[in-house]
Amino acid sequence: MSNSENQPLYAPQEPIFPRRVSGFFRTFKWWIMAVTLGIYYLTPWFRWDRGPSLPDQAVLVDLAGRRFYFLWIEIWPHEFYFVAGLLIMAGLGLFLFTSALGRVWCGYTCPQTVWTDLFILVERWIEGDRNARVRLWNAKWDLRKWRMRITKWIVWLLIAVATGGAWVFYFTDAPQLARDLLNFEAHPIAYFTIAILTATTFIFGGFMREQVCIYMCPWPRIQGAMMDDETLTVGYREWRGEPRAKKRLESTGDCIDCMACVNVCPMGIDIRDGQQMECITCALCIDACDDVMDKIGKPRGLIDYLALADEPRERAGNPPRPIWQHILRPRTILYTILWSMIGFGLVFALFIRADIDLTVDPVRNPTFITLSDGSVRNTYTVRLRNKHGEARDFRLSLSSDEILRIDLEGTARNIITVAPDSTTLQRVYVTARPQDPAASQDRTDLRFWVEDVQNGERAHRDTTFNGKEN
């Protein structure tokens, strides 16, 4: 497809019937599928005790309450940089793996690949392996074909519903939502989200499959920029395999043109044509070819993870360089360093952040007022955050080089109770007596302190006091 000269921008979809295969990579992929699907379906059901007034779901994205709970970590909207940091790490991680191992994300862990793999497994289980499926495809629409197709579609649909269903559990209390969903009492948005994700899973996994990777996904187009000659990708040792022939002679290469590698390919390509856009490096052709090489008594690795840089060496009859030499190079080391720096930064930020916090918003309309005794007063709106699961008493105070007095609106004390896991706005007045410098000085620096009465934990925020304009 890719080496023909006049390529169309879009080629109509051709049916692909991947054959069953077994081997190291297939087994590895089964494990990855089990682990990733397990994580996806089970995560919302883990519980985590956070006290009486907070949700007990281990991983919860509470959009309505504007909180993100991950085990013992609770992210507030003003700490969104944690999420941004994680996304940057995910991006850099993808760069790292792509520059080292090509489209390893696509081939092993991308949801499109994992779910398509699962759907093909179902297809094979109901309709049989490649040859049976080809026959069924060409068969007339009789009762047997209808029966098999409908059975397959129903199983796909069940998987799709479970997929869409699992997604919504991340956003609200899972057991409660499950009950509501079954009683038809859940919010319409929940049903709507499930319906959309069911449709996309069913269509992408069942029918569009490789079309999603080739025409819809932007990632393959970006990946080219991250790969180079040292990147290990799935390739064909053309110098060893060619000239291919079904009948083996002295002059022929190792490839017996058995088409095993083509038949197992979920993307419907021939890896022997060289690296191509469609290849997601799922490595199933390696398993298929190794199996054939074993049978005909030739060494494994006719199709293998290769780096382009090794090709001249191998053509000259030398062995390829060891894998670590391909993987350890400035580019991957740089990605690793960047990735770890952000990771360390996030962990550091996580440990130094306080459970209490304040922000100060000086009222600047007006900047100051004069009281009847000539004192000058500034007003501040102080937002107090209590991230604890229970109500806390906060003591507000200030420190400054000049003499200033602090008063709170609505109370004669300087202690405020903040409800659990919430914020409170408090109007605060700071006054300078007429004889004190702060009253006549243009600006006076001051620092607001908030102290948790219970455990003495403190936080502060700097601001300024405006004196009377002269």
Partner 1 sequence: MSKTETDEATGVDTTGHEWDGIKELNNPLPRWWLWCFYLTIIWGIGYTIAFPAWPMLSSATQGVLGYSTRAEVAAEIDRFEQQNASLKSALAQSDLTQLAANPDLQRFAVANGAAVFRTNCSQCHGSGAAGAKGYPNLLDDDWLWGGSIDEIAYTVTHGIRNDVDSDAHWSQMPAFGDILEEGQIGEVVHHVLALSGQEHDSGLAEAGAVVFEENCASCHGEAGLGDREQGAPNLTDAIWLYGGDAQALTDTVTYSRFGVMPPWGGRLGKADVNAVSAYVHGLGGGE
Name the minimum Å distance from CB 369 to partner 1: 5
Nearer to partner 1, 236 or 465 (CB): 465
Name the minimum Å distance from CB 11 to partner 1: 15
Residues lying near partner 1 in the complex (CB under 8 A): 363, 365-366, 369-374, 377, 379, 409-410, 427, 429, 434
Contacts of 95 (CB under 8 A, 6+ apart): 226, 335
Name the minimum Å distance from CB 395 to partner 1: 20
If one counts every other C-beta atom within 10 angstroms of the C-beta of residue 372, the result is 5
Q: Name the one residue in this structure whose structure tokens are 């993987």.
A: 327
Name the minimum Å distance from CB 371 to partner 1: 5
Quote the Cα angle for 192-193-196, to 5°: 85
> Which secondary structure element, helix H or strand E, spans residue 188, and what is its range?
helix 188-203
Residue 323, CA distances (Å) to 109, 230, 370 in order: 22, 10, 77
The torsion region of residue 249 among left (phi > 0), alpha (psi -120 to 50) and beta comes to beta
Name the minimum Å distance from CB 418 to partner 1: 13
Nearer to partner 1, 4 or 365 (CB): 365
Nearer to partner 1, 84 or 371 (CB): 371
Nearer to partner 1, 254 or 421 (CB): 421
Name the minimum Å distance from CB 366 to partner 1: 4
Nearer to partner 1, 297 or 410 (CB): 410
For the purposes of burial, counting CB atoms within 10 Å of the CB of 172, is it exposed (0-12), middle (13-18) or buried (19 or more)?
Answer: buried
Nearer to partner 1, 375 or 464 (CB): 375
As a whole number of angstroms, the distance between CA 305 and CA 104 comes to 11
Nearest CA-CA partner of 301 in 18, 23, 16, 20: 23
As a whole number of angstroms, the distance between CA 393 and CA 457 comes to 11
Radius of gyration of the chain (CA): 32
Nearer to partner 1, 43 or 367 (CB): 367
As a whole number of angstroms, the distance between CA 115 and CA 131 comes to 22
One-letter amino acid identity for 419? A
Nearer to partner 1, 332 or 466 (CB): 466
As a whole number of angstroms, the distance between CA 5 and CA 8 comes to 9
Name the minimum Å distance from CB 19 to partner 1: 33
Name the minimum Å distance from CB 373 to partner 1: 7
